[in-house]
Amino acid sequence: MKKSWGVRIWRWSIISFVGAYLLVPLYAMFDFSTKPFGFQDKGRTFRAWTTIPGQPDLMPAIARSLITAAIVMALILFLIVPTAIWVHLKLPALRRPFELLCLLPLAIPAIVIVVGIAPLYRWISINLTESPLSLAGVYSMLILPYTYRSLSAALDAVDIHTLAEAARTLGANTGRVIFGIIMPTIKTGIVNGSFIAIALVLGEYTISNLLNYKTFQNVIAQIGRTNGNVAVSVSLASILFVLFLLLLIPTKKRRNAVLDVDLV
- Contact indicator for 233, 33 with CB cutoff of 8 Å: yes
Q: Give dist(CA 263, CA 175) in Å, integer.
A: 11
Task: Tell me which residues of the chain have a pLDDT lower than 70.
Answer: 1-3, 37-42, 245-246, 248-264
CA dihedral 84, 88, 93, 94 (to 10 degrees): 0
Which pLDDT score, from 0 to 100, does residue 262 have?
Answer: 43
Domain ranges, ordered by start, for the chain: 55-247
pTM to 2 decimal places: 0.76
User: In the prediction, which pLDDT does 261 show?
Assistant: 43
Q: Given this model, what pLDDT does residue 260 score? A: 45
Distance of alpha carbon 195 from alpha carbon 192, whole angstroms: 5
Q: Which CATH architecture has domain 55-247?
A: Orthogonal Bundle (1.10)
What digits encode the pLDDT tens for the residues 104-138?
888 888 788 888 888 888 888 888 888 888 888 88
pLDDT for position 249: 57
